[in-house]
Amino acid sequence: MDASIKKIIARYPDEKSAIMPVMQHLQRENKNFLNEDAMEEAARVIGCSKSKVYGVATYYTMFNTQPVGKFHLQVDTCVPGFLHGADAIVAHLEKKLGIKSGETTKDGMFTLNRVQDLGSCATGPVIQVNDRYFENMTIAKTDALIEALKSGKEPENDPSMTVISKCGILLNDRTQKDCRTIAFYKKNGGYQSLKKALTMKPADIIEEVKEAGVRGRGGAGFPAGMKWSFLPKNDSRPVYLICNADEGEPGTFKDRQIMEFNPHLVIEGIAISAYAINSKKAFIYIRGEFNWIADILDAAIEEAKKDGQLANVDIVVHRGGGSYVCGDETAQIESLEGKRGNPRVKPPFPANSGLYGCPTVVNNVETLSSIPFIIQNGAAGYKKFGNTNNFGPKIFGVSGHVNKPGIFEYPMGTPLKEILEASGGVKGKLKGVIVGGLSVAILTAQEAENLILDFDSCVKAGTALGSGGIMVVNDTVSIPELALRTIEFYHHESCGQCVPCREGSLVIEHKLHDLVHGKGKMEDIDLILHLTANIKGLTLCPTGEAFAVPIQAMVSKFRPEFEALVKR
Amino acid sequence: MSKTIVINGKECAFDGNKTVLQIARDNGFYIPSLCYHPKLGPASKCRVCVVEVDGIRNLQTSCSLTATDGMIITTDSPRVLDAQRMVVNLLLANGNHNCMICERNGDCELQEAAYHLGIELPAFIVEEREDKDESGAFIVRDVNKCIQCGRCIEACNRLVVNEVLDFGFRGGHTQVVCDGNKPMGESTCVQCGECVQVCPVGALIEKKAIGKARSWEITKIRTTCPYCGVGCQQELHLKGDQIVRVKGVEGAKPNDGHLCVKGRYGYDFIYSKERLTTPLIKKNGKFEEATWDEALDLVADKFKQIIKESGPDAIACVSCARSTNEDSFYMQKLFRAAIGTNNIDHCART
Ligand code: SF4
Ligand code: SF4
Ligand code: SF4
């Protein structure tokens, strides 16, 4: 066996977990193409059936089981991309390259694809070229990019956007060149919390985190300390900590801000948390598209190890393969075990039987990154930010129709108005706002008027804070088209396990497609509402609800727009 | 201690660890289910077996819901039926569920669910078609009828451990694949047919049965497989006196529904024209038909003659793998006690 494959396998307690990294390696070695031989090789070294490997390879979008061009251009046309004008970029590329999306140029140089959410919402339109992102694209920049690629030059990326940190806890000063280094981090007090934590009793750390009331920042808002305390006591099995860095909810691009520019913060958070729950092995499950960020994390972990910070825990960065559903904790566990990312039936819950059947905690990057502050400043310090039951700093991402889209670290409970002002105000006339990532109900301009951004206030307003990915929609946007984009995303991402989600999203997509293209009927509108009402709560994992809720809200709140599309 | 749950107002007593679906079935309540198979356990994927449980907000899948004492279940409320109808409608919306010409007509779990839920015509149709895979020697796969329940995959990987099948692709494109998405006939599949045995619909069917009989023309006869000493229990599906297909008997020892490729598909030999129907004795270099008495007398005479001339150890016996344990036992008894030799063997050992 090739030494690099051996090394990959050695990182995991169970070799099956190495299936994706091994395939990623083989694909990279083979001109970005995972052919039959490579899949057979993977089955051989991992020791599993060919159908298992094929099933995994075709589940995740980043494995190319068909050959692709030298440069694989993928344009994000999901909702934020759509709002930022990504369709025009695709149309331009199709014309310029003389191919349709999904095709490869005759000379084998370029393959063009529309893809779902790349997690670069404020910097859209974004084009992913092989492993790299090119953000804030315009037609002119696209031309320059293609020319550069053709002539073998290294193209430049422009990731600029507005970054404001009012709390100064999670985001650091990224304008500093050395902002990622351990030296910079330590100069600003880094790893002091870990030092302090190691003098505390694990139970006391859990108490402090519970007392701080930090609610999960992945979207569900479940109290982190409580999650930790569900772990069985006096259990002889190893405990695993998984840092969920799979942010894939359209509109969300917050965790990458921490990982890319302040990687030691999340590493320190993991080290403290692992100590608190007695975990000796932690994983960072990062979405595969963020490959360069995963490299940054790898390097930072090396630095921290050398500096003696990680004596108590081994952290493995695990790259996903392109799947939204793997953001769900049980799907993520399955994926980390080297399987298709199908969510598990609960119970059992991960706290009792998670990764490899062992007690497991899955926490979001932003959640874990707030732990060092809590240890250093106590629950009381943390509670200075936010309101009752909704404490702490929160990173909001604003994309869509604002003048200065970007990333904003504000206290929980900040009015939406203030965040919109910070992002330069709405471009044009506001029509609606989606405040918590694509899976929450859209609010009309009027409903959003006095919205307070915290978990409980959002629920009261008939929506959810979710991940805090705010998408602003002005009156140039057709809501039926927005709804179609929305369902396209979820239908594409559905794991396909359960019927209401797999087939329901398909039927809704067809009906919305018909409506948008003038072929719809009045009954279709009611059918969509009937389906969304029944799908809610009927699926195996929250994904069914994740599309039933927003589609239902768009159709019922903007029904006249849908009706106007029906030809009488 | 016996526990009780209430299903649609009826008290149902049960012992031990049981799911709501099992108790409902024990008590004669029909709850449609598609991905659940008793041999494979709950999968909770099709979501059609949902019921209402007092005190729980969302509908629950009864296949995976462990019953607790005092639970109050409703299986026939408008909310439950609405959800079940939607699920079945969604499955009918996509795929070629043309029952009229399907081999499983009258014996299909999807059709049965649609019938009980009163779905005459699918409420919405979104169709995509793909060719059937007819490359297997005995099995035809029709992906258009597949409902992605996963039973075949579980059976192939967990029960017979041939590890041929798995799901490939994702979401609406999810499909059962053989090896790296090969036609079944080119894959490592051994055509044991365990997947066919558990498929709830007409997505996996027996090639040899196609066009032979409608389900209501079939008489089912239980028998023991004649191929080897294991004694697998079979259910022959007959039309008149002709075998249309062979199924394994679920829940019966020793095979619990499993059969090997020979037992399941190798039944044509009974209709072979070359089949021997009387003993044959070679006379003047040619076989001639004889009666059993003639044949047995001849064998007995020869044995006696050999024993007389060369002793009993000049004779040996080899028992055939197709004989039952009991037959093999008699064989060795005959040779030890009557003939007087220990030269005893079995073809599976040689
Ligand atoms: S709801 Fe969708 S994503 Fe979740 S398990 Fe069902 S099919 Fe998979
Ligand atoms: S016939 Fe047997 S080996 Fe072939 S796919 Fe079905 S269960 Fe697997
Ligand atoms: S082929 Fe049959 S058993 Fe297999 S997934 Fe499809 S419907 Fe289920």
Q: Do B172 and A39 touch (CB under 8 A)?
A: no
pLDDT of amino acid B193: 96
Within a domain: residue B112? no
How many Cα neighbours within 13 Å face the side chain of B12? 24
Q: What is the pTM of this model?
A: 0.92
Contact at CB, A500 and B87, closer than 8 angstroms: yes
Taking contacts as CB-CB distances below 8 angstroms, the residues of chain A near B87 are 499-500, 538
> In the prediction, which pLDDT does A563 show?
97
Looking at per-residue pLDDT, the higher value among B99 and B187 belongs to: B187
Based on the domain organization, do A329 and A249 belong to the same domain?
A: yes
Same domain, A453 and A551: no
Ligand 2 centroid to A340 CA: how many Å? Answer: 21
* Pair A555, A562: CB distance under 8 Å: yes
How would you classify the pairing of strands B3-7 and B72-74?
parallel
- Tell which of B211, B226, B253 closes a domain: B211
Residue B161 neighbours by CB under 8 Å, 6+ apart: none
Of A60, A339, A494, A506, the one to substitute when testing ligand 1's pocket (max ligand atoms within 8 A of C-beta) is A494
Question: b/e for A315-347, b at 16 or more Cβ within 10 A?
Answer: bbbbbbbbbbbbbbbbbbbbbbbbbbbbbbbee
Q: Is the pLDDT of residue B95 over 90?
A: no
Q: Are residues A317 and A359 in the same domain?
A: yes
Same domain, B224 and B162: no
> Which helix (H) or strand (E) covers residue A534, if one does?
helix A522-535
Question: Could you read off the pLDDT tens digit of each residue along chain A, which spans 568 residues?
Answer: 789 999 999 999 999 999 999 999 999 999 999 999 999 999 999 999 999 999 999 999 999 999 999 999 999 999 999 999 999 999 999 999 999 999 999 999 999 999 999 999 999 999 999 999 999 999 999 999 999 999 988 889 999 999 999 999 999 999 999 999 999 999 999 999 999 999 999 999 999 999 999 999 998 889 999 999 999 999 999 999 999 999 999 999 999 999 999 999 999 999 999 999 999 999 999 999 999 999 999 999 999 999 999 999 999 999 999 999 999 999 999 999 999 999 999 999 999 999 999 999 999 999 999 999 999 999 999 999 998 899 999 999 999 999 999 999 999 999 999 999 999 999 999 999 999 999 999 999 999 999 999 999 999 999 999 999 999 999 999 999 999 999 999 999 999 999 999 999 999 999 999 999 999 999 999 999 999 999 999 999 999 999 999 999 999 999 999 999 997 6
Say if A159 falls within a structural domain. no
**CB–CB of B58 and A531 under 8 A?**
no
Do residues B13 and B87 share a domain?
A: yes
Residue range(s) defining the domain that contains residue B221: 215-275
Residue B72 inside a domain? The answer is: yes
The CATH number assigned to the domain holding A18 equals 1.10.10
Note if the bond before A125 is cis, omega within 30 degrees.
yes
Residues B270 and B285 in one domain: no
**Would you state the pLDDT for residue B350?**
58
CATH number for position B60 = 3.10.20.740
CATH number where B246 lies: 2.20.25.90
Q: What is the pLDDT of residues A507-538, one digit of tens each?
A: 999 999 999 999 999 999 999 999 999 999 99
Alpha-carbon distance of A328 to B38, in angstroms, equals 29
Please name the residue ranges forming H helices in B98-257.
Answer: 109-116, 151-154, 194-198
- List the beta bridge partners of residue A73: A112, A129
A170 falls within a domain: yes
Tokens representing residue A186 in the block? 């330590």
CA trace torsion A320, A324, A327, A330 (10° rounding): -90
Evaluate: CB of B160 within 6 angstroms of ligand 2: yes
* Distance from C-alpha of A405 to C-alpha of A95, rounded to nearest angstrom: 29
B300 and B338 in a single domain? The answer is: yes
Ligand 3 proximity of B203 Cβ (cutoff 6 Å): yes
CA B149, B153, B158, B159 torsion-angle sign: positive
Residues A137 and A252 in one domain: no
User: Which residue, of B252, B275, B298, is where some domain finishes?
Assistant: B275
CATH code, domain with A519 = 1.20.1440.230
Q: Hey, what are B52's tokens?
A: 């209402």
* Minimal CA separation from B185 to chain A, in Å: 15
The residue segments making up the domain with residue A483 are 479-563
Q: Residue A41: exposed, middle, or buried by beta-carbon count in 10 A (0-12, 13-18, 19+)?
A: buried
Taking an 8 Å cut-off on Cβ atoms, the answer to whether B94 and A506 are in contact is yes
The number of distinct structural domains making up chain B is 4
Is A348 at the interface with chain B, CB within 8 A? no
- Bridge partners of A283? A242, A316
- B50 and B17 part of one domain: yes
Residues of B in contact with A506 (CB under 8 A): 93-94, 126, 172
Do A206 and A347 sit in the same domain of this protein?
A: yes
Cβ-count burial of A359 within 10 angstroms (0-12 exposed, 13-18 middle, 19+ buried)? buried
Q: Distances in Å between the alpha carbon of A82 and those of A115, A408, A440, B327?
A: 11, 22, 18, 76
Question: At residue B228, does pLDDT exceed 90?
Answer: no
Looking up tokens 């149709």, which residue turns up?
B125
- For residues B232 and B313, membership in a common domain is answered with no
Q: What is the CATH number of the domain that holds A304?
A: 3.40.50.11540
B317-319 and B344-346 strand pairing:
parallel
Test site for ligand 3: of B107, B140, B144, B146, most ligand atoms within 8 A of the Cβ: B146
Residue B179 near chain A (CB below 8 Å): yes
User: Is the Cβ–Cβ distance between A282 and A207 less than 8 Å?
Assistant: no
Domain-terminating residue out of B225, B251, B275: B275
Q: Is residue B136 part of a domain?
A: yes
| DSSP sequence for B250-280 | TT-TTTTT---HHHHH--GGGG-TT---S-E
**Weakest-pLDDT range from A284-288, B97-101, B194-198:** B97-101
Q: Is A521 on the interface with B (CB under 8 A)?
A: no
Chain B residues within 8 A of A492 when measuring between CB atoms: 171
The reply to whether B327 falls in a domain is yes
* Ligand 1, CB within 6 Å, residue ranges: A 325, 343, 494-498, 501-502, 539-541, 543-544
Q: Note if the bond before A359 is cis, omega within 30 degrees.
A: no
Domain check: are A8 and A105 in the same one? Answer: no
> CA separation (Å) from A14 to A27, A46, A274, A288, A568?
22, 10, 20, 20, 61
Tracing tokens 């990294």 back to the chain, one arrives at: A21
Residues A271 and A354 in one domain: yes
pLDDT the model gives residue B123: 76
Do the domain assignments include residue B255? yes
Residue count of chain A: 568
Regarding whether A295 and A252 lie in a shared domain, the answer is: yes
pLDDT of residue A562: 98
Q: For residue A132, give the CATH number of its domain.
A: 3.40.30.10
The answer to whether residues B206 and B229 belong to one domain is no
The one-letter amino acid code at A455 reads: F
A400 and A344 in a common domain: no
d(CA A507, CA A515): 12
Global ipTM:
0.88
Residue (of B124, B185, B177) closest to B146 by Cα position:
B177
Looking at the fold, whether A78 and A131 belong to one and the same domain comes out as yes
Can you give the pLDDT at residue B322? 82
B137 lines ligand 2 (CB under 6 A): no
| Phi then psi dihedrals of residue A131, to 5 deg | -95, 0
Cβ density class B140-160: b for 16+ within 10 Å, e for less: bbbbbbbbbbbbbbbbbbebb
pLDDT of residue A219: 87
Residue B310: pLDDT over 90: yes
**Nearest CB neighbour to A345, from listed B64, B178, B181:** B64
Give buried/exposed letters for A400-439 (b at 16+ CB in 10 A, else e). bbbeebbbbbbbbbbebeebbebbeebbeebbbbbbbbbb
Residues B207 and B223 in one domain: no
Which residue on chain B is closest to A494 by alpha carbon?
B171
In a domain, residue B102? The reply is no
Helix ranges (DSSP H) in chain B:
20-26, 78-93, 109-116, 151-154, 194-198, 261-265, 292-310, 325-333
Asked if residue A355 is part of any domain, the answer here is yes
Q: What is the pLDDT of residue B182?
A: 95
What's the distance, CA B175 to chain centroid?
A: 22
Find the CATH number of the domain harbouring B160.
3.30.70.20
Are A278 and A381 in contact, with CB atoms under 8 Å apart? Answer: no
Q: Rounded to an integer, what distance in angstroms lies between the CA atom of residue B78 and that of residue A184? A: 63
Q: Which residues pair with A432 in a beta bridge?
A: A444, A473
Pair (B238, B205) in one structural domain = no
Q: Is B107 domain-assigned?
A: no
> How many domains does chain A fold into?
5
Per-residue CA distances from B52 to A534, B46, B72, B278 (Å): 14, 16, 8, 65
Residues A324 and A402 in one domain: no
Domain end call among A104, A122, A150: A150
Whether residues A311 and A182 fall in one domain: yes
Distance B110 CA to ligand 2 centre (A): 22
The residues facing B43 across adjacent strands are: none
Say what the pLDDT of residue B138 is: 97
H or E element at residue A58:
helix A50-59
pLDDT digit string (tens) for B114-163?
999 999 877 777 777 788 999 999 999 999 999 999 999 999 999 999 99
Q: What is the dihedral of CA B136, A49, A346, B63, to 10 degrees?
A: 30
CA nearest to A427, candidates A481, A477, A472? A472
Residues B177 and B230 in one domain: no
B299-328 b/e with 16+ CB inside 10 Å = b? eeeeeeeebeeeebeebebebeeebeeeeb
**B47/A493 CB distance under 8 A:** no
Kindly state whether residues B11 and B88 are assigned to the same domain: yes
